[in-house]
Amino acid sequence: MLAAEQVAEHAAEHVGWFLDHAFLIPLVPAVAFAIIILVGKRLPMKGSEVGVASIFASLVLAVGVAYQWIERSHTTVEPVIRKVVWWQSGGVEFSVGQHIDGLSVVMLLLVAFISTLVQIYSLEYLRGDRRYTHFFAALTLFSGGMLMMVLAENMVQLILGWEIMGLCSFMLIGHWWEEETNSRAALKAFWTVRVGDIGLLVGTGIVFFGASAFAQESGSNGFSIAAINEWALNDTSASRTVLLWGSVALFIACIGKSGQFPLHTWLPDAMAGPTPVSSLLHSSTMVVAGVFLVARLYPLFHTGLDINVAGQQFNLIAVIGGITIIIAAALAFVQTDIKKVLAYSTVSQLGYMMMGLGVGAFTPAVFHVFTHAFFKCCLFLCAGSVAHSGSHHSFEMKKDMGGLARKMPITAACWIISTLALCGVPFFSGFFSKDEIIDNAHHNGYTVFWIVGLVGAFMTTAYMTRATYLTFFGVARGAAAGVHHDDSHAVAHDVHDTHDVHDANDAHDAHAGPHESPALITVPLVILAVLALTAGYLNAAPFHLEKFTEWFATEGREPFPELAHATFEWVNAMPSIVLVAAGFIVSLFISRGLYGEKAFFLKGITKRSRPLRAGYTFLYNKYYLDALYENVIVRAVAYPISKATYWINQNVIDRTVDQVGLTGQSVGNWVYRNIDQRVVDGAVNGSGAAARGTGSALRPIQSGKVNQYGALLFGAAAIGALVLVIVNT
């Protein structure tokens, strides 16, 4: 257990400079954000150099933390916890600090590395953008918010980093806010995630009050992440109801942030942001935050959400993750925008991560977060490379792509390697993480989710084969064939349909034809593609290479639930391998027929078959969830509230204001008639009349005759003398 004495001992222990000063990793980007905002436009590279340098500095610090953690893991796996009191309220101390264990080390390294490559990529991709400085400021703070959340020692600090990301995602998705499509996408992302964030606040409150008494015994409080996990597993007096509803509330936040069903609808629309934003958001930040929260508080979720349904163990996390895998993969088949295909792919892969955590495959799920970041970031940046240099800023596969492998060999090679990793082809990184999730679902008795994982593997291969064929093979179409839009149409198409505007580059690229992208774009692609191929060997169970488990596994220490892991056997991996191969063969056959020039029996089948047309329409309209949310739920909630507010405004507030005004007018009229006219003016007029009468009476006295003045003085003196005699008698 992490008792108070142990915490104090670890706090006093010197474990290495990088581990002791890990708090600098999010602090550096935060300072850089302030510098970019204040003086960025005056700098030679408009502030981008500050953003790149700060994220690279965070990467160096993260590498140092990882190195010292690996060295330390040979002797102990205890977390390194540092904290200082931030402020106090009602006897409760709110601290800020760092909680470093294997999970946080992996995420620090991952976020800093991906963010560095995305910043370098953005130097070229956003060159000449109208808000170039603001973009790098928001992108830098975005990474800083994720790094702060990863390092958080307590839930208050975690919420701070969580909300910083939410704010920055709003700014980045709506980077080109002049267009209504982009503004609506940013607002949709912001408000949808905010719905889930209510659960984060409520859940944190529930857990705080539930864990406070137990945490005080160890010298902490109910906000401490370490104390919450220990309480969930070791406090036998903990209320089952508190654990359940605290977990449910927190998981609602994870559903919103990580785009799980049914709050996944914001994620594809987030493609309105620049492609580097999409890449960073979908690979290692923002959407991964929900998965990270489940992993960070895994003892709490494991205890609170382990629900017995119909005689079989169904964890709510696994249920939501399994549903998300299938529904997102199905939607990817009807997309023509290459970024939206990747967006739904991200949603589906996040479902795998959640399902893995739900079925007890903790380490494979976290490892899939690690491997997925490389190949998904690479895929998004490849899509941006195609738009930048191959399709005249268009992301429409069926309209402006095709046959680009010959013109963009580096981009095509990186795309194909990352696609193979995403599909879980053996010996690529995705195989070593995703197949382990599927295998462990079967090993732990979650047969339904084992089947879901296999079906998802088939669907993933099928829709990615379709996207690969439409983009890089077959016949060149539209811009890929050198047929460019005119300038006015190009901008409109780019804003409304593809979202990326490159005003400064349009003149250069408008008639250049498809060609390979410059080095600032292709070098990050090559680095990521190499990692998409090799990163899986950190935990390659088939070859008994499990360094990831050895260095970063959270399991095996207190507090953590006991989990059973499957031993890898090739025979258990064969169903997945066969389905991946089948998905490739079937999808390639159909894609060549549908999108080729020859006649094919499936062409136009959705028009000929009513059931297939209905199914396609259902998918094309995204299960009508947006219609449900916007036209039913929002109308049912927002419209009555707006009407009630309008009625109150007209009949209460305005009437009150009008009545106050009328009353003031009546009082003013009365004051004018009675006080001003009769009293004030009467007094002034009366004093004037008295003065005038007195003056008239005294005027005869002012005759100018000296003898008369002498007589008056003599009379006055006589009267005064008489008065003195009378008074003194």
Lowest average pLDDT, out of 29-38, 374-383, 392-401, 494-503, goes to: 494-503
Give 689-702 pLDDT, tens digit per residue: 777 777 666 666 66
**Distance separating alpha carbons of residues 77 and 541, to the nearest angstrom:** 21
Give 460-487 pLDDT, tens digit per residue: 999 999 999 999 998 888 888 887 654 4
Q: What amino acid occupies position 447?
A: T
What is residue 556's predicted lDDT score, i.e. its pLDDT?
A: 62
The DSSP H or E segment spanning 99 is strand 92-100
Q: If you average pLDDT over residues 631-659, what whole number do you get? A: 83
pTM of the shown model: 0.85
Alpha helix ranges (H) inside 547-569 = 547-552
What is residue 714's predicted lDDT score, i.e. its pLDDT?
A: 74
Average pLDDT, the chain: 86
| 354 pLDDT more than 70 | yes
Percent of the chain with pLDDT over 90: 51
| 707 pLDDT more than 90 | no
| 260 pLDDT more than 90 | yes
Is residue 33 a contact partner of residue 90, using CB atoms and an 8 Å limit?
A: no
What is residue 7's predicted lDDT score, i.e. its pLDDT?
A: 45
Task: With both helix axes pointing from N to C terminus, report the angle between 132-151 and 287-296 in degrees, rounded to the nearest 10.
Answer: 10
Lowest average pLDDT, out of 149-158, 213-222, 333-342, 420-429, goes to: 213-222
Q: What amino acid occupies position 555?
A: E
**Distance separating alpha carbons of residues 207 and 244, to the nearest angstrom:** 10
| Winning range, highest mean pLDDT, from 245-249, 508-512, 566-570 | 245-249
Alpha helix ranges (H) inside 473-518 = 487-493, 503-509
Q: Which residues contact 15 (CB under 8 A, 6 or more apart)?
A: 68, 72, 80
- Distance in Å from the first CA to the final CA of the chain: 111
Q: pLDDT tier at 300 (50, 70, 90 boundaries)?
A: very high
Q: What are phi and psi of 647, to 5 degrees?
A: -60, -45
Q: How many CA atoms lie within 13 A of 454 on its CB side?
A: 19
Give 95-111 pLDDT, tens digit per residue: 899 999 999 999 999 99
Give the distance from CA 487 to its chain's centroid: 34
Lowest average pLDDT, out of 20-34, 608-622, 639-653, goes to: 639-653
Report which of residues 706 and 647 the model is more confident about. Answer: 647
| 310 pLDDT more than 70 | no
The structure tokens listed for 669 are: 């009229």
Q: Which residues contact 237 (CB under 8 A, 6 or more apart)?
A: none
**Which is nearest to 155 in space by CA: 238, 250, 73?**
250
**Distance separating alpha carbons of residues 569 and 576, to the nearest angstrom:** 12
Give 481-519 pLDDT, tens digit per residue: 887 654 433 333 333 334 444 444 444 444 468 899 999
**Which is nearest to 19 in space by CA: 122, 127, 99, 123?**
99
What is residue 492's predicted lDDT score, i.e. its pLDDT?
A: 34
Q: If you average pLDDT over residues 418-434, what whole number do you get? A: 95
Q: pLDDT tier at 268 (50, 70, 90 boundaries)?
A: confident
Is-cis flag, bond preceding 611, omega within 30?
no
What is residue 13's predicted lDDT score, i.e. its pLDDT?
A: 61
DSSP state of 406: T
Q: Domain limits of the chain? A: 319-501+539-600, 621-682, 700-729
